[in-house]
Amino acid sequence: MTQDPLTPYGNRPMVTPIVNAVNYEYGSFEVLRQITDGEIDGYTYHRDDNPTVRAVEKAIASMEGAEDCVVCTTGMAACTMVYLTYLSAGDHLILFHDIYGAHYKMSLILEKLGVQITWLDASRSDTIGEHIRDNTRMIFCETPTNPLCKVVDIAALHREADRAGALLIVDNTFATPYHQKPLSLGTDLVVHSATKGLGGHNDLMAGAIAGSKDRYNDLWFTRQAIGTTLDAYSASLLERGLKTFEMRAEKMSANAMAMAEYLAEHPKVPRVCYPGLKTDPGHEVAVRQMHDGFGGVLAFDVGEEQEDAKRFINELKGLLHAVSLGATESLICIPYLTTMLYMPEERRTSFGVKKNTVRLSAGIERPELLLEDLEKALEKV
């Protein structure tokens, strides 16, 4: 009998072993046949599968209410795998401007491959039916969006996608599975930059795609072909992050809400974007499709000019000036100067982002310390 590589001692260790093996010895030709025919779980080569990676895939699938999950090297690798697996020349893809900036670069590659793309503002997602074509094969969105935290009605998008025979893909990175379960609302696939809230410690990069077993098989084929399998050590770090994920997600959401409420009343902050605020345009939909809070990310404008936002960030002592999100530390940046650099300058402000817009990812610090930091920095604006 082949020994389970995750239970090499006869009983399961408290931490999933890091299996760094690139290849595996076959016990017999019959075992080789059973593995390659899919009759038994087994491993042959790291690009195909890895037991440490497989353990974290099953954990994320369970969190999203999915049958299975494919984990890969980065969040953008996950998105790219979805595009390459399900789109062909002549197909039509609908994207939203309110999405991580690297998708713009990816769209240029897809257009070179013959994919037609329509860009929409997430705040007008209710008009998507006007933009669906006979050849529309995929609708891809984030909700809440990056960086303005706009809320897209997933169930409504699902109805339009279903009517068109198109796949609906939702990036759940901002919401996380703690606050939102897109698959339960009709989404075909959920993607994550697992670098963010799922990992949560600024020490790994990974992507994840959750869905049905058939979708897993499709995406596994693509991952195996292009070689985007995650390394075992990063998978181990990701699994460790998942053990504290729910506690961190709850705390980050509470901190984000406290800061959003404070900023919404501040005279030097003309706009706050956070779906937890009752005044937010997406609040009503967010209440329907999110639960246990509204996520740990918010955006807001500081003063009137970019120099105001820069001065504010330079005065912060506890909140850290850095990109990324979903970490134990609170992180803050100006999207126009960082996450949106992938986009042409004229596109960066075309859907609501301003040069003085700031994105804040709440960490797990004591809320009174965060509020004090914001107050003192805003005094200098």
Burial class from Cβ neighbours inside 10 Å (0-12, 13-18, 19+) for residue 348 reads buried
Burial class from Cβ neighbours inside 10 Å (0-12, 13-18, 19+) for residue 314 reads exposed
**Per-residue confidence band for 40, with pLDDT thresholds at 50, 70 and 90:** confident
Segment 276-303 shows an average pLDDT of 98
State the chain's mean pLDDT as an integer. 95
Q: What is the pLDDT of residues 180-196, one digit of tens each?
A: 999 999 999 999 999 99
Spatial CA neighbour of 157 closest among 166, 149, 147:
166
- Tell me the C-alpha distance between 301 and 136, whole Å: 36
What's residue 1's pLDDT? Answer: 41
What's residue 358's pLDDT? Answer: 98
Spatial CA neighbour of 168 closest among 85, 94, 115:
94
What's residue 14's pLDDT? Answer: 86
- Tell me the C-alpha distance between 230 and 332, whole Å: 28
- Tell me the C-alpha distance between 94 and 276, whole Å: 27
Q: Are strands 136-142 and 167-171 parallel, antiparallel or unpaired?
A: parallel
What's residue 11's pLDDT? Answer: 74
Please determine, for residue 2, whether its predicted confidence score (pLDDT) is greater than 70: no
What's residue 8's pLDDT? Answer: 57
The two tokens of residue 184 are 């339960």
**Per-residue confidence band for 369, with pLDDT thresholds at 50, 70 and 90:** very high
What's residue 10's pLDDT? Answer: 64
Sign, Cα dihedral of 241, 263, 123, 95: negative
Segment 251-265 shows an average pLDDT of 98
Please determine, for residue 33, whether its predicted confidence score (pLDDT) is greater than 90: yes
Please determine, for residue 4, whether its predicted confidence score (pLDDT) is greater than 70: no
Q: What is the pLDDT of residues 139-150, one digit of tens each?
A: 999 999 999 999
- Tell me the C-alpha distance between 76 and 206, whole Å: 9
- Tell me the C-alpha distance between 233 and 53, whole Å: 9
DSSP letter for each residue of 239-307: HHHHHTHHHHHHHHHHHHHHHHHHHHT-TT--EEE-TTSTTSTTHHHHHHH--S---SEEEEE-SSSHH
What's residue 344's pLDDT? Answer: 87
Please determine, for residue 259, whether its predicted confidence score (pLDDT) is greater than 90: yes
**Per-residue confidence band for 38, with pLDDT thresholds at 50, 70 and 90:** confident
**Per-residue confidence band for 3, with pLDDT thresholds at 50, 70 and 90:** low
Residue percentage of the chain with pLDDT more than 70: 97
Residues involved in catalysis: 47, 100, 171, 196
Distance between alpha carbon 146 and the CA centroid of its chain, in Å?
A: 10
Segment 48-71 shows an average pLDDT of 97
Q: What is the pLDDT of residues 330-340, one digit of tens each?
A: 999 999 999 88
User: For 77-81, 281-285, 348-352, which range has the lowest pLDDT when averaged over its residues?
Assistant: 348-352
Q: What is the pLDDT of residues 43-55, one digit of tens each?
A: 999 999 999 999 9
Please determine, for residue 78, whether its predicted confidence score (pLDDT) is greater than 80: yes
**Per-residue confidence band for 12, with pLDDT thresholds at 50, 70 and 90:** confident
Segment 69-81 shows an average pLDDT of 98
Spatial CA neighbour of 230 closest among 213, 212, 210, 205:
205
Q: Could you give all domains of the chain from N- to C-terminal order, each with its CATH number?
A: 29-243 (3.40.640.10), 245-378 (3.90.1150.10)
pTM summary value = 0.94
Q: What is the pLDDT of residues 205-237, one digit of tens each?
A: 999 999 999 999 999 999 999 999 999 999 999
What's residue 41's pLDDT? Answer: 79
- Tell me the C-alpha distance between 258 and 42, whole Å: 48
